[in-house]
Amino acid sequence: MSASIKDWLPGIATQLETLAATPAIAALNHSVWLFSVVQLFHLLSIAVLGGGVLLLNLRLLGFALPTVSPQEVERSTRPWMIASVAGTIITGLLMTLATTQSSLTSTAFLIKMIALLAAIGLSISVASQVKESAAPRSLPKVVAAVAAGMWLLAVAIFASADNLGAGVLLVTIAGFALFAAFVPSRRRVYLFGIGAVLFTGLGATFLLPPTEAGDVLTVQLSIGTVLAGLAFALFLWAGEGRDGKLLAIPLDRASALVSTLAWVTVAVAGRWIGFS
């Protein structure tokens, strides 16, 4: 499947192309050092934003800073998140305008944009849930639900796009690793088991012949491996509950998980932009 901003939103693409023809953007596009400066600040903004988000998410998932409260982590990272969100949007728009010919027709760029909006929305929702833990409002929940749907859309496009399906496996592997947060009493067993399933299943794809039939088998084996890993993860999660009841997953922890995966999707899609 081929999809791009130009295919999905031709009106917006036309407006962006018009803006890209202005003298200021033309100067940015033809200046190596100026474009490099914008790109540098774009990468720094994403790094700071992703770092702040990851720190709070890992705290909620129980992987980092166990002696620091989530509220304190959120309060400390809030100024950095606000500044980096603004920096990411401004520099990202400038870079898009400077590279409209390639960006607007790139499937990976479309995936990155959808995943980025989802990641920002989820990150804001997680921060709001932590900040207002005493009296949570419904708005953060709505934002989280909409953003999660956007992330799923980005993953679906990623999985069905030509030559980009391998990127979904990277997001899936990250998801399996983060799910260890929800099986605390069996974490070592889970990590060993899920590692064995993924290593065996995905490793076997390298032994298949490089033919059309082999490519089909590779896809089938990859899907089978992911499903086997999912079944194993759900089995151990079911065992975490008591009296036959499944262990409840708090909304803030679930949002933290999806938020982290959305940022992983942004990073992976950015890696694949040059190949779409």
The low-confidence residues of the chain, meaning pLDDT below 70, are 1-2, 133-137, 162-165, 213-214, 242-246, 273-276
* Predicted model pTM: 0.88
Residue pLDDT, tens place only, 106-143: 888 899 999 999 998 998 888 888 887 655 567 777 88
- Cα 6 to the center of its chain, rounded Å: 22
Residue pLDDT, tens place only, 159-171: 887 666 677 888 9
Residue extents of the structural domains in the chain: 5-275
Instruction: Check residue 159 and give its pLDDT.
Output: 84
